[in-house]
């Protein structure tokens, strides 16, 4: 049975429309309590900076307290901070109110288990099975309690720094950090400043409606202009909930998740700290795979979604994986994708090597890759005879050093059409051709 509400990364949608309503959030909390803590327990709730976060925080708090669970309210914090604080505090589960890189008028809800890991498909199905039941309200003697956790931000900042070598310093470095007016707007600048860097903050003035608006990891153009403009050494961009990272070198060139994986993997291999294969996804650039294998580093692909990267890392004994979009998972440091921790690990490599971000990234050749998001109505159809025939034609043209990936998004009403190969003109033409076929036949 497929999941009705949970997608690739929790539940997400337009605020005020199902499932992102107050009533649904309260029932969701009650259902999660039934499945994950039927005898009561403790839950940690965090959020990003969307104006609707206050509403959903209150609804979830009410549902959990009514179900007999104590609630720790963490306020605006990066998604990975909630994962860490859930595990560290001994809570039974963690909840994040965020729609990540989506506009402010969307929101979402995702869960972590007591180990700080995202829930399995089976647990999400079990929660969905309880959603049709009314929210439970226990007797007064069995109700939970709720309180603010005032030390959450400082605890997370200390955790981020704890993964660095003793005495590590960013003295003498000038860094622009773009927090997308999102959940990392306090933690990001404070961590870098505590390490001695000179900080130029942008995207650090949330007003509830400007999250991801022309800034952050999904819109890095402002960062690319600012870094060379202020003569910074590099730039760091987070997304709205601070689990995605992209960076910018001193020339303003974008360093995406594939390049970040390459930089970390090669450095950790040289230091003897890399374990298992590096895990990417179906969308990872072919250049990453070939460059790693040339250096004797194994590479595997998982389904798109950091949860599937994590599962594959756990299956293979790997410690490093991620997505082109910037989810970078360092399992030797934490349990989930964490933009700040990943950025600090890259900075540690730069300091140890004495080389610039541009120099390290230049060692990985990138294959031309075109990604087109094709809007669709209703449930996408990507395996029709017409679409399958078009894919076969294009794959034949690309040969052995090219790829086609066609997949419905787990977070948006689009089909992602990706074509990759050595010839950029051929790749662009093929992607446009396939996108037209999907547009005409994919709904």
| Omega within 30 of 0 (cis) for the link into 216 | no
Give counts: helices (H), strands (E), the chain: 14, 18
Compute the distance between CA of residue 34 and CA of residue 373 in angstroms, rounded to an integer.
38
Compute the distance between CA of residue 327 and CA of residue 245 in angstroms, rounded to an integer.
6
Find how far residue 371's CA is from the centre of its chain: 18
Buried b / exposed e over 366-394, threshold 16 CB at 10 Å, is: bbbbbebebebeeebebeeeebeebbeeb
Task: Locate 19 and state its tokens.
Answer: 């499932």
- Selecting among 100, 217, 284, 325, the annotated active-site residue is 100
Return the residue matching tokens 């933690």. 187
Instruction: Say whether 100 is catalytic.
Output: yes
Compute the distance between CA of residue 179 and CA of residue 171 in angstroms, rounded to an integer.
21
Return the residue matching tokens 């990234």. 361
Where are the alpha helices (H) located in 67-167, listed in sequence order?
79-89, 121-129, 152-162
Residue 341 makes CB contacts below 8 A (sequence gap 6+) with: 80, 160, 163, 330, 333, 334
C-alpha distance from residue 59 to each of 22, 62, 197, 265, 345 (Å) = 6, 5, 40, 42, 37
Burial tier of 261 (Cβ tally within 10 Å: 0-12, 13-18, 19+) = buried
Q: Which residues are catalytic?
A: 100
């Amino acid at each position: 049975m497929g999941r009705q509400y949970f997608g690739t990364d929790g539940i997400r949608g337009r605020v005020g429309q199902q499932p992102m309503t107050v009533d649904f959030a309260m029932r969701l909390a009650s259902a999660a309590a039934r499945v994950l803590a039927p005898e009561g327990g403790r839950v940690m709730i965090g959020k990003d900076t969307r104006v609707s976060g206050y509403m959903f925080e209150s609804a979830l708090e009410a549902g959990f307290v009514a179900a007999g669970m104590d609630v720790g309210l963490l306020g605006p914090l990066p998604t990975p901070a909630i994962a860490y604080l859930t595990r560290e505090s001994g809570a039974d589960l963690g909840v994040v109110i965020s729609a990540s890189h989506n506009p402010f008028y969307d929101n979402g809800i995702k869960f972590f288990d007591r180990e700080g890991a995202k829930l399995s498909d089976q647990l999400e199905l079990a929660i969905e099975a309880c959603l049709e039941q009314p929210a439970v309200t226990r007797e007064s003697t069995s109700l939970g309690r709720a309180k603010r956790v005032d030390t959450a931000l400082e605890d997370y900042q200390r955790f981020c720094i704890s993964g660095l070598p003793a005495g590590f310093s960013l003295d003498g470095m000038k860094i622009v950090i773009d927090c997308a007016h999102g959940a990392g707007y306090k933690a990001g600048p404070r961590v870098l400043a505590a390490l001695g860097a000179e900080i130029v903050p942008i995207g650090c003035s949330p007003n509830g409606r400007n999250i991801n608006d022309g800034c952050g990891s999904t819109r890095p153009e402002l960062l690319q202009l600012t870094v060379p403009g202020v003569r910074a050494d590099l730039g760091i961009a987070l997304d709205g909930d601070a689990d995605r990272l992209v960076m910018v070198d001193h020339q303003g060139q974008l360093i995406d998740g594939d390049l970040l994986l390459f930089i970390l993997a090669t450095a950790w291999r040289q230091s003897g700290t890399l374990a298992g294969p590096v895990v990417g996804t179906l969308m990872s650039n072919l250049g990453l795979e070939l460059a790693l294998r040339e250096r004797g580093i194994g590479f595997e692909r998982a389904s798109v979604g950091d949860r599937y990267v994590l599962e594959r890392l756990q299956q293979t004994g790997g410690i490093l994986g991620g997505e082109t979009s910037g989810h970078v998972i360092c399992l030797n440091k934490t349990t989930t994708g964490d933009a700040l921790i990943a950025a600090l690990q890259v900075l540690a490599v730069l300091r140890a090597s004495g080389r610039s971000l541009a120099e390290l990234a230049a060692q990985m050749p990138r294959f031309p890759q075109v990604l087109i998001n094709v809007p669709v109505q209703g449930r996408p159809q990507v395996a029709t005879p017409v679409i399958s025939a078009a894919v076969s034609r294009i794959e034949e043209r690309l040969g052995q050093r090219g790829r086609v990936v066609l997949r419905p998004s787990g977070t948006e009403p689009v089909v992602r059409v990706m074509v990759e190969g050595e010839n950029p003109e051929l790749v662009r033409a093929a992607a446009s051709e396939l996108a037209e076929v999907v547009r005409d036949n994919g709904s």
